[in-house]
Structure 1
């Protein structure tokens, strides 16, 4: 069965925000990636390279708070109030396909489901009600 978790977007202060959340909730980051660690990191400004591509902080039993920095250089615009998505972690590629297809009628597909460099099957869309969704299946699930 798929799980859902909040995915937060920030205007360059993701690291500060997540260090604050870590102080509130405790625990350790299970993922902390900067844009410089991505395949396109060499093509970015020195400032953008140091920003956060993905961070994940487990909270409680089975919940994960995740986030990223929105980059103007990548054409990403952010409005406070719509700076989050609901991330669905599917149990299989087939489940990811089914969920993505079910959410797609009338949606704006931001990124179709595809295999990614970080070892996942991933896609993003904004549904017909304006809710932003991320659908993900990690290939290294146990």
Structure 2
């Protein structure tokens, strides 16, 4: 079966964002690469001193099948970050308490779109945009969790 891993782009604050996500979900980073490491690879070009310590790639396992990954989009390399509203990261939890924990932590400093509550489809669900502009759907459904 295919695995789907969200990959997030940030405008220079990937490390801050991922430390926040680590504080919410726990775990340890399995990979942290900085742009200065890329310069040691032939043909990969140079990055400015200002961008050298920014994140090239970071990975935080969320479960045995899902890894949250991210990078800093560098204008100096021709990248342009456009924060959009065309996606959510959907998290299905094992318990109602875990859903509340994640929702509370992720909504700190963010904007709640729909507070956690029982939905018409029977799940305990809420949605929000965190302080980094990432949209989340948090859901607990005992029919799928047991």
**Between Structure 1 and Structure 2, whose CA radius of gyration is higher?**
2
- CA-to-aligned-CA distance 1:93-126 (integer Å, 9 cap, x gap): xxxxxxxxxxxxxxxxxxxxxxxxxxxxxxxxxx
Instruction: Note the residue ranges of structure 1 that are not aligned, 5 or more in a row.
Output: 87-142
Q: Is the 8 A contact 1:35 1:41 kept in 2?
A: no
Asked whether the equivalents of residues 29 and 56 of structure 1 are also in contact (C-alpha less than 8 Å), the reply is yes
TM-score (norm 2): 0.53
1:28 CA drift (Å): 0.2
Using the alignment, how far apart are the partners of 2:82 and 2:19 within structure 1? 22
Greater share of strand: 1
Q: Alignment length, in residue pairs?
A: 85
Q: For residues 29 and 43 of structure 1, what CA distance do their matches in structure 2 show?
A: 25
SS at match of 2:50: helix
Higher RCO (CA-CA < 8 Å; seq separation 6+) = 1
Inter-partner Cα distance in structure 2 for 1:74 and 1:83: 24
Which of 68, 79, 83 is equivalent to 2:82?
A: 79
**For structure 2, which runs of at least 5 residues remain unmatched after alignment?**
90-146
Contact 1:10 1:83 in 2 (8 A): no
- CA-CA distance at 1:47 after TM superposition: 1.3
